[in-house]
Amino acid sequence: MSRIRKIRSRRVWDSRGRPTVEVEVQTETGASGRGIAPAGASRGTREAVELRDGGNRFEGRDVRAALAGIESEIAPALIGFDVFQQAAIDDALIALDGTPDKSRLGGNALIATSLAVLHAAAAESGLPLWRYLAGDRPVKLPLPQIQIFGGGAHAERRVDVQDFMVVATGARNFEEALEMTAEVYLRAGQLMRRRGAVHGVADEGGWWPVFSNNEEAMGVLVAAIESAGFIPGSDVSIALDIAASEFGKQGRYSLGLERVELDSDGLIEKLLRWLDRYPIVSIEDPLAEDDEAGLIAFTRAAGERVQIVGDDYLVTNAALVQDAARKKACNAVLIKPNQAGTVTETYRALQAAQQNGYASIVSARSGETEDVAIVHLATGWNAGQLKVGSFARSERMAKWNEGIRIETGDHPPAGFSTSALACR
């Protein structure tokens, strides 16, 4: 046991230059831990709500109210708690906030605090965070999903699909997965340059998606995989985040580039055609979060051959995961700590996934920082997969590099999750 002695908060800045919340927790022995809230751009409606000030400053995104709540309410309530009692601390945070969506004190204030407590507990025990979380269980490094082209809300809707990613399905370890992805990322850049289509990168570091339709991006992605010397579908495969809630409501989907409007069945048919034509192993939010019937239908049609990931639909919520499993919607869950708002709720969502035979992918947000906690969560909780954005920009690379440190450290995990994808 070691009591929390001090909690400090400050405003820091995320990868989009926007304000965010950092919390530092110190124990009575002087051990300390820090957590920073990330921020999404394509959020599910049932996520924990961020507390932002509104008004003119920083486009209304300042976090002074969230910091004030930490100083005046959260810190006094948590001082004296045993830092190892993560669940009790998270319960206290939830009760203190008192709202179902964490809007009073802010999901950003809560997740930064909860992560800081977790880091402080690991520091107190003298263990790397992943090892502290794993305890005696043998755990494996996660299989990465890495973005090559950004799109959707991360690229001014230049294309509809949000993430065109690769998964190094033939990699034998984490380092090799990164090595293979690095080659594909560079080759994709060369191909774009040859097309005269390099215009910088999107929010998560993927190449800016100058394409005339969504499918063209997949064609170039396959070409990049081949140009890197890999066999598409065995060495390196494709993962997509359709993020369909961004362009579809109430069963109507409007694809901006193709200027077509589809109903749920129409979009499903299109996605099934993509599955036939391209080596796709994972597809996230294929239908909008309000189109549960569509998600069930798509899972029925494709759930045996491809991983179908619920992000906006499941928002890292254990009860929603249970419910989806009952209805047979999706077969995998995206796990984003700030969607839930506390570490304990995040872990419960992951447990619900594992208990129901769903695959899980711990994920960053499009607004990120140097915080590398998610790499440790993915490893220590044995989640199987990790999604961080692209292979460029240091808020992304900090995470990939942390995975290399974990894999090549003195007492590394038991291995690498080669078969973490649903359906493989």
Binding partner selected for residue 92 from ligand PGA, Zn ion, none, CB under the kind-specific 5 to 8 Å limit = none
Binding partner selected for residue 371 from ligand PGA, Zn ion, none, CB under the kind-specific 5 to 8 Å limit = none
Q: 102, 270, 336, 399: which is the annotated catalytic residue?
A: 336
C-alpha to C-alpha distance for 276 and 325, rounded to whole angstroms: 26
- Closest to ligand PGA by CB, 41 or 392: 41
- Closest to Zn ion by CB, 66 or 165: 165
Q: What is the DSSP secondary structure assignment for residue 127, as one 8-state letter?
A: S
Q: Please, what is the minimum distance in Å from the beta carbon of residue 243 to ligand PGA?
A: 5
- Closest to Zn ion by CB, 124 or 311: 311
Q: What is the DSSP secondary structure assignment for residue 414, as one 8-state letter?
A: S
Binding partner selected for residue 366 from Zn ion, ligand PGA, none, CB under the kind-specific 5 to 8 Å limit = ligand PGA
Binding partner selected for residue 368 from Zn ion, ligand PGA, none, CB under the kind-specific 5 to 8 Å limit = none
Q: 22, 24, 124, 204: which is the annotated catalytic residue?
A: 204
- State whether the Cα torsion 226-309-343-51 is positive or negative: positive
Residue 38: partners with Cβ closer than 8 Å, 6 or more residues away: 14, 20, 338, 364, 365, 367, 368, 369, 371
- Closest to Zn ion by CB, 274 or 416: 274
CA 22 to chain centre: 19
Q: Please, what is the minimum distance in Å from the beta carbon of residue 394 to Zn ion?
A: 22
What amino acid occupies position 366? S
Residues 322, 326, 332, 333: what is their CA dihedral angle, to the nearest 10 degrees? Answer: -30
Residue 410: partners with Cβ closer than 8 Å, 6 or more residues away: none
- Closest to Zn ion by CB, 24 or 204: 204
Binding partner selected for residue 363 from ligand PGA, Zn ion, none, CB under the kind-specific 5 to 8 Å limit = ligand PGA
Residue 27: partners with Cβ closer than 8 Å, 6 or more residues away: 2, 3, 4, 5, 83, 120, 123, 124
**Helix ranges (DSSP H) in 151-263:** 174-194, 214-227
Q: Please, what is the minimum distance in Å from the beta carbon of residue 52 to ligand PGA?
A: 15
Q: Is 6 a catalytic residue?
A: no
Q: Please, what is the minimum distance in Å from the beta carbon of residue 41 to ligand PGA?
A: 4
Tokens of 353: 């996934």
Residue 111: partners with Cβ closer than 8 Å, 6 or more residues away: 35, 37, 48, 337, 338, 340, 341, 342, 343
Return left, alpha or beta for 317; rule: phi > 0 is left, psi -120 to 50 is alpha, else beta.
beta
Which string of b and e fits 352-376 if b means at least 16 CB within 10 Å? bbbeeebbbbbbbbbbbbebbbbbb
Q: Please, what is the minimum distance in Å from the beta carbon of residue 38 to ligand PGA?
A: 7
Q: How many CB atoms lie within 10 A of CB 73?
A: 16
- Closest to ligand PGA by CB, 162 or 382: 162
Q: Please, what is the minimum distance in Å from the beta carbon of residue 353 to ligand PGA?
A: 16
User: What end-to-end distance do the CA atoms of the chain give, in Å?
Assistant: 43
Which string of b and e fits 258-293 if b means at least 16 CB within 10 Å? eeeebebeebbebbbebbeebbbbbbbbbbbbbbee
Q: What residue ranges bind ligand PGA (CB under 6 A)?
A: 40-43, 153, 162, 241, 243, 311, 363, 365-366
C-beta nearest to Zn ion: residue? 311
- Closest to ligand PGA by CB, 24 or 345: 345
Q: Please, what is the minimum distance in Å from the beta carbon of residue 222 to Zn ion?
A: 22
Q: Is 249 a catalytic residue?
A: no
Binding partner selected for residue 43 from Zn ion, ligand PGA, none, CB under the kind-specific 5 to 8 Å limit = ligand PGA
Q: What residue ranges bind Zn ion (CB under 5 A)?
A: 241, 284, 311
Binding partner selected for residue 14 from Zn ion, ligand PGA, none, CB under the kind-specific 5 to 8 Å limit = none
Binding partner selected for residue 365 from ligand PGA, Zn ion, none, CB under the kind-specific 5 to 8 Å limit = ligand PGA
- Closest to Zn ion by CB, 50 or 311: 311
C-beta nearest to ligand PGA: residue? 40
Q: Please, what is the minimum distance in Å from the beta carbon of residue 306 to ligand PGA?
A: 17
Residue 293 phi/psi, 5-degree rounding, is: -60, -40
Q: Which active-site residues does the annotation give?
A: 204, 336
